[in-house]
Structure formats: C-alpha cells, structure tokens
C-alpha cells in the first residue's frame, strides 16, 4: 500500500462534517493564502514564489469550475473535485523538490499543506447530490 493510499484510508474514517459550501469557503481562503505566500516569497525565494503562485492559481481555477455553491461555472463535479484534492494532498509535499527549494523554510509550508489538505479532504462530504442541493438553495 502506497503512502497516498494509506493517507486516503485514514481520511476515509474521519467524520464528514464539512459541507460543500464550507469546503468552497476553505478553497477560496486556501487560494488566497498561496497568492499571499507568493508575494511574501517573491524577493527571497523566487522558486517558492512561483510554486505558490501556481498552487494558488490551480486551487482558484478548480474552485471556480466546481459544481458547488461557490463555484462559478459548474464544469467539474464536486466528487471529481474531491479526487483532485486528494491527489494534490498526497503530492503537495513534493513541490519544493520539483521547484528546487527543498530544505528551506518555504518548503515547510508545502509539507504542512499536504497534511492540512488531507484533513479537509477526509472531513468533506463529497456527495455531488449534496453539493447540487446546496447550490440550488443558494
């Protein structure tokens, strides 16, 4: 069993207390965090700034295109969004190595992001039916 499979197995047993709407709020805050982190890193660690900018952009676009209450153009089902989040959670820790800034203070942010993202994924109810109901209610 891979580390990603183990992490997903653990998160499968967490209570599903995060609704699609709350998940959307978390997503937009998550994107804003990485855009802010990119600004903070831009002078002292350009590689980390670029990685943070890319991460923020990915999260923002994924959120805008998800079929959940805070999505703008429902292209991605909420269930698919959850699978994308799970993949991102299991790989975010590798971003510093890919961008060449592993071992730095900035790398710790991406490592912790993996843990936090896995927790959010594990506690979210990714039922597309629930997302659609919440979307219709506004």
Domain span at residue 61?
3-137
Single pTM value for the model? 0.86
**pLDDT per residue of the chain (138 residues) written in tens, 0 to 9:** 554 455 556 566 788 889 999 999 999 999 999 999 999 999 999 999 999 999 999 999 999 999 988 999 999 999 999 999 999 999 999 999 999 999 999 999 999 999 999 999 999 988 767 666 776 776
Three-state SS annotation for 19-85: CHHHHHHHHHHHHHHHHHHHHHHCCCCHHHHHHHHHHHHHHHHHHHCECCCCCCCCCECHHHHHHHH
Distance (Å) of CA 32 to CA 3, 56, 83: 28, 7, 21
Which long-range CB contacts under 8 A does 87-91 form with residues at least 24 apart?
87/4, 88/58, 88/117, 89/7, 89/113, 89/114, 89/117, 89/118, 89/120, 89/121, 90/3, 90/4, 90/7, 90/8, 90/114, 90/118, 91/4
Counting the structural domains of the chain, the total is 1
């Amino acid at each position: 069993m891979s580390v990603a499979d183990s992490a997903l197995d653990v998160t499968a047993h967490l209570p599903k207390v995060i609704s699609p709407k709350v998940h959307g709020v978390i997503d937009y805050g998550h994107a804003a965090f990485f855009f802010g982190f990119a600004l903070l890193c831009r002078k002292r660690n350009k590689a980390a700034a670029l990685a943070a900018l890319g991460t923020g952009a990915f999260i923002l676009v994924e959120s805008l295109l998800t079929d959940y209450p805070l999505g703008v153009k429902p292209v991605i089902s909420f269930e698919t969004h959850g699978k994308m989040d799970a993949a991102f959670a299991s790989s975010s820790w590798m971003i510093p190595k890919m961008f060449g800034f592993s071992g730095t203070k900035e790398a710790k942010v991406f490592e912790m992001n993996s843990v936090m993202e896995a927790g959010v994924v594990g506690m979210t109810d990714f039922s597309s039916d629930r997302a659609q109901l919440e979307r219709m209610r506004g």
